[in-house]
Amino acid sequence: MEEINIKPQDGLKEMETEGDSGHASDASDEVLEYAKNVESVELEPYETDIVWQNVAKFVIIHALFFYGATYLPSMSLNMWIFMLISTQISGLGITMGAHRLWAHKTYKAKLPLRIFLTFANSLAGQNSIYIWSRDHRTHHKCSEKMGDPHNAKRGFFFAHMGWLMVRKHPEVTRAGKTVNMTDLENDKLVMLQHKYYITSFLLCGFVIPTVLPYLLWGECLYTAYFMAIFRYVITLHVTWLVNSAAHFFGYKPYDKTIGPTENMLVSLLAMGEGFHNYHHTFPYDYSTSEWGYTFNTTSRIIDAMASIGQAYDLRTASKATIEARSVRTGLPELTAIYQKKAL
């Protein structure tokens, strides 16, 4: 058992094992036991059942996206700035909110920051925080096995977006039920967003981003509306790249026995979420990487929030833990620690 290094300012005494699924109440033994069971049982016969309603939804939204792209060359500077900022905010709703705060509990946040992240998450429109976190915890628990909602073993397209167009494999449903969600069920804000999810998605994702530019500088409502769709589709694909590209292309410095990789391009696009071999090895680390702020806007913002007291109890893996693990299961010469030593 290795311990993790807790930042001096946070005062958190918890210890975690490296096999942690990232969920505060998941015992790693239970996770390993489950994984063994999944591998050994006969899987029930399953035929891919396409959900045509979802396929139609994606076709329409992409058609609107491409049409929206024709607005870009003639768009006002104000609208460009608004779109870039709102894209970053919706990205944070996933990376800093649903992923690092709620799914993995890598840090804690005060109410004002949680309210902001709930808004940002509704802007991103990738299902409620509750559902997103449940699917994501299931992904870590059964990574690249049949219980994984976006099992990369079923191909790049399936891991990217295909999984949202077919009925869930029964094993995914079964695995999802084994994930402990009581922490989020006790979180009033998370459950409020879950209860009114569709309203909050439509309001934060489309109504506000359409009306606000019109009220602020008289932007054409059509342009603002199509830019809301443009932002929505871009954020979807960037998030999906973490499940697809970062499970296919890149190095494995920390654990070469698993599928997830270190993918710099995905990190750059997804505000630091492409350090995926590190993240699957040390899911409790708020930074999802040992490279500091390199391609990691999310860590930068969590640290900024920590400096004003809105984020606290940031958890990280210690240098000794990272080194010991990469020597044992990975390629230590590719880690930041080794490269600093080699200088």
Q: Which residues would be at the binding site for Zn ion (CB under 5 A)? A: 260
Closest contact distance (angstroms) between CB of 114 and Zn ion is: 19
Asked if residues 51 and 133 have their Cβ atoms less than 8 Å apart, the reply is no
Shorter beta-carbon distance to Zn ion: residue 23 or 231: 23
Residue nearest to Zn ion (CB): 260
Closest contact distance (angstroms) between CB of 296 and Zn ion is: 14
Our measurement of the distance from residue 320's CA atom to the centroid of its chain's CA atoms, rounded to an integer in Å, reads 26
- Taking alpha carbons only, the member of 206, 229, 201 closest to residue 67 is 229
Within 8 A by CB and 6+ apart from 32, the residues are 19
* Burial call 215-238: b when 16+ CB within 10 Å, e when fewer: eeeebeeebbbbbbbbbbbbbbeb
Our measurement of the distance from residue 330's CA atom to the centroid of its chain's CA atoms, rounded to an integer in Å, reads 23
Closest contact distance (angstroms) between CB of 264 and Zn ion is: 16
Shorter beta-carbon distance to Zn ion: residue 228 or 271: 271
Shorter beta-carbon distance to Zn ion: residue 227 or 266: 266
Asked if residues 205 and 232 have their Cβ atoms less than 8 Å apart, the reply is yes
DSSP letter for 50, please. B
Closest contact distance (angstroms) between CB of 331 and Zn ion is: 19
Shorter beta-carbon distance to Zn ion: residue 224 or 241: 241
Shorter beta-carbon distance to Zn ion: residue 260 or 272: 260
Asked if residues 198 and 216 have their Cβ atoms less than 8 Å apart, the reply is no
Shorter beta-carbon distance to Zn ion: residue 157 or 196: 157
> 3-class DSSP state for residue 313?
coil
Closest contact distance (angstroms) between CB of 23 and Zn ion is: 10
* CA dist 186 → 102, 113, 180, 201 (Å): 12, 18, 12, 22
Q: Locate 2 and state its tokens.
A: 């290795």
Shorter beta-carbon distance to Zn ion: residue 133 or 223: 133
Closest contact distance (angstroms) between CB of 28 and Zn ion is: 15
Closest contact distance (angstroms) between CB of 202 and Zn ion is: 27
Which residue type does 145 have? K
Phi and psi at residue 64, to the nearest 5°: -65, -35
